[in-house]
Structure 1
Amino acid sequence: MPISKENNQPVVSVVIPTRNRPQIVVRGAKSALSQTLQFIEVIVIVDGPDPQTVDALSQIGDPRLRVIELPKNIGPSGARNTGVKEAKGTWIAFLDDDDQWLPQKLERQLEVANNSNSQFPVVASRFISRTPKGDFICPRRLPQTSEPLSEYLFVRNSFFKGEGCIQTSTLFVKKELMEKMPLEEKFDRHEDWEWLLRVSAMENVRIEFVPEAMAIWHSEMGIKRLSNVNDWKYSLDWIRSTRNLVTPKAYSGFIATIVSHSASLVGDWKAFFPLLWEAIRWGKPRPIDICLYLTMWLIPQDLRQRIRSVFNKNSKKQPAVLKEISP
């Protein structure tokens, strides 16, 4: 295993949770092993008995790859926390099994982290959203100075999503911070947001960005993600449980876009007025939030997507290197 000359250990430990997706996780693991930063280890946590995935990963043959098969399924947060405990590196980089990295991702993030004035920098990056309609760079903007993280994540200033976001597969963080503040295992979804909101409130933590796109987020139809599961009641319960971590403006923004979007997709019109009242009572909605809320309910999703695709044609496309590692 290539190791750091300074401390005889990997500099970065990559943690990939997976379950029952052998071909997909092999693609992700190979993108991690192809990093220009050589002093790494890649830890794949197989979340429960899954011999097919273990066998597929064993074909890679790179000594930097470690595969740990758990005796039972504990969920993505538990799998990631297990990977952190097993990690030998100073830094942790998370990669979802159905995503990929560009070759310089870890090198660029380590550079930003080493130049940070914060004790615990949390370094993210832009990423490529790969869709059936093409590849697009997200987020469209980076956080402003002193902008609350909850507002960056949940408050929209335009009618199109992807304005402000942090994707799990771009997170790069000190192992010491993950040990102090592990992922909350009770959440099946939104756990990355909850963790980011918690750590961003700490004095010695700073959210930083590599401005270039360093990862590929696959949103093709047919790839099942927990984040794509449509359960608006779960999302509503989640934001209620984390209300102390978000601003009123962010609370209403989450209701107006994320919760209302899920409720409208299943046609649960009984939720229309209660959710609107939730945003008004506990949040601080702006006129654009009310417009977004009505848009989610009154304009069909396919029409919204067609309108968005017209605007996306003028957005910045991916660099040529992306096509070189495409499946």
Structure 2
Amino acid sequence: MDALPEVSVVIPTRFRPELVTRAVRSALTQTVGNLEVIVVVDGPDEATSDALALITDARLRVLVLPRSGGAPNARNVGVREARAPWTALLDDDDEWLPQKLAVQLDAARDAGVAMPVVASRLINRTPRADSVLPRRLPAPGEPVSEYLTVRRGLFYGDGFIQTSTIMAPTALLRREPFTVGLRRMQELDWVLRAVSHDEVDLVIAAEALVVFHQDEDRPRITLSSPWEGQLEWLHRSRHLLTPRAYAALLMSVISSMAAPTRSARTFGMLLRDARRNGRPGPIDYLTFLQIWLIPPKLRHNLRDLVLGRRREQRAGVTAPTTAERRVPGLGDRSGELAPVSTERG
């Protein structure tokens, strides 16, 4: 019998053969060779199956689901099939740098907890600019929900987590599966629930290990969702967030989804909800107002201009590449993946 792999890689996909083959090759060329790659095709898709059949690496397994159930369901299927003690998640339109898994395995060994969730920084690549997210690592003792949701400036990216950066114990991913039917903030929802367990902590590698492709001329599987459904999710998840994090998430992520309605009634309802059930700070009010009052395209251009100038000012300063920061396993996180997933376009 073949030896068990050290890491199982799970990639959900549908109707994107060129992209998923790029993702698969980035997984197969990791410096950690003892792995398996499980691609879950979310419903019959002949073009994708044919493209993957051209990759002859024996470490690749392809599962084709009889019908589409969405990305969270496809991830859960892949996790159930995983044979390794660790499972790393990869979206079909992203790719890994070669040392990604090696760095994360080292971080997991040094974490000092039974079930670390290991993430990393990433290169956020858009047609307008490249940037590294998150811009900062968690402060000691900072609640995870606040790290991932509370902004220090008007633009997202202070705290951030994205699916393709996550490596976690397979047993944890089976205990806390992804929520089927949730269109947005899937990784945030999962992390919040995962870290609610005492033996679970979040570890973030300081090195950028993933290329996160955005704003390409194609739909992203988690790009659109009615804001009302996400607000219902937020209400159900309130026990996993601090009041500060609740208000920040509502006034940034949920508001950015609702703002296109230009509804004064919705504006007032969200503001009252944030004040009643959360604890907004001054930056949350500023974020809320700029989301509702500034057109999205102008807001994105201003964001890239400001962040681009900050990168230029920091040019020549070498950032740490191997340090990790551990966050206490409190049941409270969220992000603009919280921050970022709200302002992709």
TM-score (norm 2): 0.87
Within-5 A mapping of 1:113-124: 113-124=108-119
Aligned to 2:15: 20
Aligned to 1:74: 69
1:126 aligns with 2:107: no
- Is the CA contact (8 Å cut-off) linking 1:261 and 1:297 kept in structure 2? yes
Q: How far apart, in 1, do the equivalents of 2:237 and 2:185 lie?
A: 11
- Is the CA contact (8 Å cut-off) linking 1:118 and 1:204 kept in structure 2? yes
Within-5 A mapping of 1:199-218: 199-218=194-213
* SS of aligned partner of 1:207: strand
Return the match for 1:47 from 42, 50, 54. 42
1:254 aligns with 2:261: no
Aligned to 1:222: 217
1:191 Cα deviation after fit: 2.3
Aligned to 1:301: 296
Aligned to 1:196: 191
Q: Which runs of 5+ in 1 are unaligned?
A: 320-327
Within-5 A mapping of 1:1-327: 8-313=3-308, 314-315=310-311
1:126 Cα deviation after fit: 0.1
1:75 Cα deviation after fit: 1.5
Q: How far apart, in 1, do the equivalents of 2:237 and 2:92 lie?
A: 27
1:79 Cα deviation after fit: 0.8
Q: How far apart, in 1, do the equivalents of 2:256 and 2:183 lie?
A: 19
Q: Which runs of 5+ in 2 are unaligned?
A: 319-345
Q: How far apart, in 2, do the equivalents of 1:270 and 1:219 lie?
A: 32
1:174 Cα deviation after fit: 0.9
CA deviation string 1:154-195 (max 9, x = no partner): 111111111111011000011121122222224233221111
Query: For structure 1, which segment, 228-237 or 18-27, has the greater mean C-alpha deviation from structure 2 after superposition?
Result: 228-237
TM-score (norm 1): 0.92
Higher relative contact order (CA 8 A, sep 6+): 2
1:121 Cα deviation after fit: 0.6
- Is the CA contact (8 Å cut-off) linking 1:98 and 1:218 kept in structure 2? yes
The alignment of Structure 1 onto Structure 2 pairs a total of residues equal to: 313
Q: How far apart, in 1, do the equivalents of 2:141 and 2:195 lie?
A: 11
* SS of aligned partner of 1:63: coil
- Is the CA contact (8 Å cut-off) linking 1:189 and 1:226 kept in structure 2? no
CA deviation string 1:105-147 (max 9, x = no partner): 0010011111220000100000010001121100001112221
* SS of aligned partner of 1:227: coil
Q: How far apart, in 1, do the equivalents of 2:230 and 2:149 lie?
A: 13
Q: How far apart, in 2, do the equivalents of 1:18 and 1:266 lie?
A: 31
Q: How far apart, in 1, do the equivalents of 2:259 and 2:72 lie?
A: 28
Partner AA of 2:137 in structure 1: L
